[in-house]
């Protein structure tokens, strides 16, 4: 199973997961970018996995639905265009000898889903949309701090070596915020330098992994809901 990172729009990530012949796409924001990649690699698209219904995550769905036979998978949210397979907590989907397990992780939206890819030939990989970012977390747009806090804790409980693929390239700004909160913390400083280096080389900051995020994500390092809620408010103003 290969995971291809497709940067698109201003700072979104769409992910193409594929075997030799079949592909699934996570959050196809732009149909043209996905189509081009499918053609270049001679792949048939079978699934579109949607983390949440915001336009920068589902923008390419209608066009891909017209041009492919791929099934749209997501939470039962009528804002997701052409939803074929509504999922709930623990729903499992088979794909190319691998499986995706749906984890409900609301907080940013009201119905966010994270997908855990498990396949024999590689590390588990988590696609978590705008719930957990590298060194950050999503804004509380349709829900509250308590809901997001529970979702983040659910993701933090996954094995440390679970790779993390999030919905946006916000890492540098997230780490600048972390450094401003904890100027003396060497973990954030070091991580910021390493991430800037990657970005300068034109590389994405994904994937991270759960173990690294537990050390270098200020939201996962919070020890209480109150601490988390306050930190989230300060980040909104940063």
Active site residues: 52, 54, 56-57, 108, 130, 168
Looking at beta carbons only, is 77 or 185 nearer to Fe ion?
77
Which positions from 157 through 186 interact with Fe ion, judged by CB under 5 A? 167
Which positions from 105 through 164 interact with Fe ion, judged by CB under 5 A? 130
Please state the closest distance from residue 59 (CB atom) to Fe ion, in A.
Answer: 11
Which positions from 40 through 59 interact with Fe ion, judged by CB under 5 A? 56
Looking at beta carbons only, is 130 or 213 nearer to Zn ion?
130
112 makes contact with Zn ion (CB under 5 A): no
Please state the closest distance from residue 164 (CB atom) to Zn ion, in A.
Answer: 17
Burial of 182 from C-beta contacts in 10 A (0-12 / 13-18 / 19+): middle
| Choice from 54, 65, 111, 168 touching Zn ion (CB under 5 A) | 54
130 makes contact with Zn ion (CB under 5 A): yes
Q: Tell me the site size for Fe ion, rule CB under 5 A.
A: 3
For Fe ion, the binding residues (CB under 5 A) are: 56, 130, 167
The site for Zn ion (CB under 5 A) is made up of 54, 130
């Amino acid at each position: 199973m290969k995971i291809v990172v497709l940067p698109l729009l201003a700072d979104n990530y769409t992910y193409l997961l594929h075997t030799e012949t079949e592909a699934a796409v996570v959050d196809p924001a732009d149909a043209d970018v996905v189509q081009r990649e499918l053609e270049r690699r001679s792949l048939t698209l079978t699934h579109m996995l949607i983390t949440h219904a915001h336009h920068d995550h589902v923008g390419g769905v209608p066009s891909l639905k017209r041009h492919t036979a791929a099934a749209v998978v997501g939470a039962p949210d009528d804002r997701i265009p052409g939803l074929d397979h509504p999922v709930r907590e623990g729903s499992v989907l088979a794909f190319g000898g691998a499986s995706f397990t749906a984890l409900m992780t609301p907080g940013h939206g009201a119905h966010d889903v994270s997908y855990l890819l498990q396949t024999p030939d590689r590390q588990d990989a988590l696609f978590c949309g705008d719930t957990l970012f590298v060194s950050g977390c999503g804004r509380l747009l349709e829900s509250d701090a308590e809901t997001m806090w529970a979702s983040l804790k659910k993701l933090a409980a996954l094995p440390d070596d679970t790779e993390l693929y999030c919905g946006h390239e916000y890492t540098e700004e997230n780490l600048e915020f972390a450094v401003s909160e904890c100027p003396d913390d060497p973990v954030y400083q070091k991580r910021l330098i390493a991430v800037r280096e990657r970005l300068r080389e034109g590389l994405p900051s994904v994937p991270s992994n759960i173990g690294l995020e537990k050390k270098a994500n200020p939201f996962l390092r919070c020890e209480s809901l109150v601490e988390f809620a306050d930190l989230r408010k300060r980040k909104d103003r940063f």
